Structure 1
Amino acid sequence: MGAPGDTFLSDYAVEARLGELRQRRMLLRELRDDVALAAARLTAGDLTGSWRSPAQQGYDAQRGDLAGDLRRAVGLIEEALVAVVTSIDEIRAARNAAAASIPASVSVPAPVSVLSR
């Protein structure tokens, strides 16, 4: 992909890429929230003190392990989210830098009207 602002096609490609990244950011946020909620539900139901049998204690231990796995997954999703947001910021910065390098106004001589002669 060329520098942003080179051609209509590259501008379109940049906007398409930004759209994809924004979609990915939205999906990652939803996934992170869902996984965090699932982890919270598992830890909120901690019944360690009231469960006596070995089977109940084993089940509770597995729930705790699963909650830990989910919390680690939330961390990994957060890392992916940071990478996506960084990519969006980099593309925006490159696009803005390219737009800033284009002269704001180009002086073009005014056309001479036939009627003004």
Structure 2
Amino acid sequence: TKVCPSGAMHKRDDGFVVVNEEVCIGCRYCHMACPYGAPQYNAAKGHMTKCDGCYDRVAEGKKPICVESCPLRALDFGPIDELRKKHGELAAVAPLPRAHFTKPNIVIKPNANSRPTGDTTGYLANPKEV
């Protein structure tokens, strides 16, 4: 769903969802609409911000910095078909929203104790890590 009245928050042809900070009016509609809570309002700048997936690095053939710097090597990046072949198809893990709704380009190899999406028995021990 497109909710950004200025067109600042948009999905690029390569799949990255980015915000054009020069066009953003700071209405926060994208934050309200995003099931992941990714767009964040920067009060000092007066506009929304979010991870851009390091699309500039990816264009150079590199991986996003979070993938390259993860000390546990828990993150991977690449074409979604290759990632699903390598890691499986699962994307429905609590506390994420239901995958049939968001159709994410993500694959999750869950911990043996993880719960399915929609499960309400779990909790986040440190919500600031999410």
State whether TM-score is above 0.5.
no
Instruction: Compare CA radii of gyration and give the structure with the larger one.
Output: 1
Higher relative contact order, structure no. (Cα contacts within 8 Å, ≥ 6 residues apart): 1
The structure with the greater share of residues assigned to strand is 2
The structure with the greater share of residues assigned to helix is 1
TM-score of the two chains, using structure 1 as the length reference: 0.20
